[in-house]
Amino acid sequence: MTDKHAASLSRTAYGGRAWARAKTFLIVAGALLVTAAVPAHSEYRLHAGDVIELSVAGAPQLGLRVPVQLDGTLTFPLVGTLEARRQTVSEIRDRIQTALASKVLRLHAADGQEFLRAVEREDIAVSVVEYRPVVVSGDVARPGEVTFRSDMTVRQALASAGGLLSSPTAPAYDVAGLRSDFVTAWLSLAAHNTRVWRLKSELGENEPFDRSAVPPLPIHEADLAAIQELEIAYRDANREDHRRQKEYLASSIAQADEHIDVLTQQRAVEEQGAAVDTAELERSSELLANGTVRHDRVADARRAVLLSSTRLLQTRAQLMQVRRLRQDLARELEKLDSGRTMALVQQLQEATIKLASERERLRSVEQKLQLAGGQVPLATVPNQPPEVIVYRYGGRDGPVTLRADYDRMLEPGDVLEVTMVSSIIKQVTQ
C-alpha cells in the first residue's frame, strides 16, 4: 500500500469516526426512548419473542435485528451467542459493547472505498424494538394477541380486542356484525313504537307508554327514555303549532268582522249621500227646464251624483271582498282540526305498517344470531365492570396472578382473562 493510499484511508477512517461520534448521542437517545415503552418502575427483562436491534454509529451495514429464541439466547455476528432470558437491556448492551469494543473492522464508505474502523463502546447501541404481545381472552369481541404499546393499560388492551361482549360466554367466532344489526333493528323498532304512541296521544288517546311493547333493551334505559322524550317534545311542538294556527285564524276572522261592520256603516252613509245627490240632480234639472238655473249648476249636480255613486260601488265591492275572505278563513278554521286529524291518522297508519316491518326484521336478525351460535345483546347492569385477571410470567418470582382494573399498567407478555360479572341475557319473545 502506497503512502498516498494509506493517508487517504486514514482520513476516511478519521472522518468516519468523527461522524460516528456525532451520531452517538442520537442513537443512544433513541434507544432510551424505545426502552421506555415498558413501565418505568422496573427495568424490563427479556424473554423469548422480544426483538433486539443492534446498531453501530457510522456503520449501518452492521445494524441488524435479532429475536430472542425459544431457548432464551441471542446470536449476533462478531459477538456470538448470548444468554438473554431474564436479562435487562443494559446487561445485554454491556456484554455486546465488551465483545465489540476495540475491534478493528473493515468497512466500506458510501463511495465504495474500503477503510478500517475501530469500534468504541459509545458507538454501540442496543434496544428493544418489538415486545412480546399481550394476550386477551374471555368475554371480548376478538380474543387473541394484541400488540404491546408504550404505557399500555387494561382499558387499551380491551379496546384493541374489540371491546366487551354483552354475553357471559363469547361465541366461537365473530358475530359482531349480527349483533350490530340487532341493535340497529331494535332502535328502529323502539323509535316506531314511540312514534305510534305519540300519534295516538295526539289523536286523543291519553294512555301511558307501554314498555312491554318494546323487546328487552340492548341499550341502557336512559337511551330509550331519550327516544321517548324526543317524541314527546315533537308532540308538544306540534300541538303548540296547531294552537297558534287556530288563534291566528280566529283573530283574522274577528278582524274581518270588524272590517265588515265598518264597511257596512260606510255603505249606509254613502247610500244616503248618493240619494241626496240624486234628488239634488232631479231638482236642478226641473229648475233648468223652468229656466231658473244655469247649466253649470246641473253639471255640478251630475258630477256629485257620479262621485257618490262611484264611492258607493267601491265600498260595496270592498265589503263583498272582506265577506268572502271571512268565509274562507272560517272554512279554513273548520278544516284545520279535521285536516290535522286526517294527517295524524295517515301517519299512524304508515307508522303501524313500518312498526310491523321492523318487528319482523328484528325477529329475523335474532334468528340469524341463534343460528350463528350467538345470543341477543342486552344492556349490562350499570357500574359493573368486568372481572380482569392478569397472568404475568417470567418474573424473578415466577408466575404472578393479579386482579386488575381498567387503569392497570401492563407489561409485555401479560395474559388477560376477562369475565363479565353481571349481564342480562334473554331471548326476545315478542
Q: What is the reported pLDDT for 2?
A: 41
pLDDT value at 75 more than 70: yes
In this structure, the answer to whether residues 261 and 328 fall within a common structural domain is yes
Task: Note whether 154 and 197 are same-domain residues.
Answer: no
Give the relative orientation of helices 176-202 and 221-290 as an angle to the nearest 10 degrees: 40
Q: DSSP state, 212? A: G
Q: Is the pLDDT of residue 38 over 50?
A: no
Check: CB of residue 402 under 8 Å from CB of residue 389.
yes
Pairing status of strand 80-83 against strand 124-130: unpaired
Asked if 224 and 346 sit in the same domain, the reply is yes
Q: Assess whether 227 and 95 both reside in one domain.
A: no
State residue 76's pLDDT score: 82
* 404 assigned to some structural domain: yes
Residue 396: pLDDT band by 50, 70, 90 thresholds? low
pTM: 0.41
Number of domains in the chain: 3
81-132: pLDDT as tens digits: 889 888 888 998 898 888 887 777 777 666 767 777 777 888 888 888 899 9
In this prediction, residue 367 has a pLDDT band, given cuts at 50, 70 and 90, of: confident
Average pLDDT over residues 303-313: 89
Quick: pLDDT tens for 258-295. Answer: 999 999 999 999 889 889 889 888 888 888 888 777 78
Q: Do 90 and 228 lie in a common domain?
A: no
At 321, is the pLDDT very low, low, confident or very high (cuts 50, 70, 90)?
very high
Rounded to an integer, the average pLDDT of 157-171 is 70
CATH code of the domain in which 72 resides = 3.30.1950.10
- The answer, yes or no, to whether residue 344 has pLDDT greater than 90, is no
pLDDT of res. 3: 44
DSSP states of 45-97 as a string?
Answer: B--TT-EEEEEETT-GGG-EEEEPPTTSEEEETTTEEEE-TT-BHHHHHHHHH
List the Cα angle 123/125/131 in 5-degree steps: 175
In a domain, 34, yes or no: no
Range of the domain at 104: 45-130
Amino acid at 33: L
Winning range, highest mean pLDDT, from 47-61, 112-126, 369-383: 47-61
Q: How far apart are the first and last CA of the chain?
A: 95
- H or E element that contains 106: strand 104-108
| Rounded average pLDDT over 388-415 | 85
On the question of pLDDT at 7 being above 50, the answer is: no
For residues 286 and 414, state if they share a domain: no
| Same-domain pairing of 282 and 346 | yes
Are 278 and 306 a contacting pair, CB within 8 Å?
A: no
Residue 301 placed within a domain? yes
Average pLDDT value for residue range 366-371? 72
Residue 226 lies inside a defined structural domain of this protein: yes
Asked whether residue 79 carries a pLDDT value surpassing 50, the answer given is yes
**Stretch 39-50: mean pLDDT:** 73
In angstroms, the Cα distances linking 421 to 68, 136, 269, 349, 375 are 38, 17, 91, 44, 17
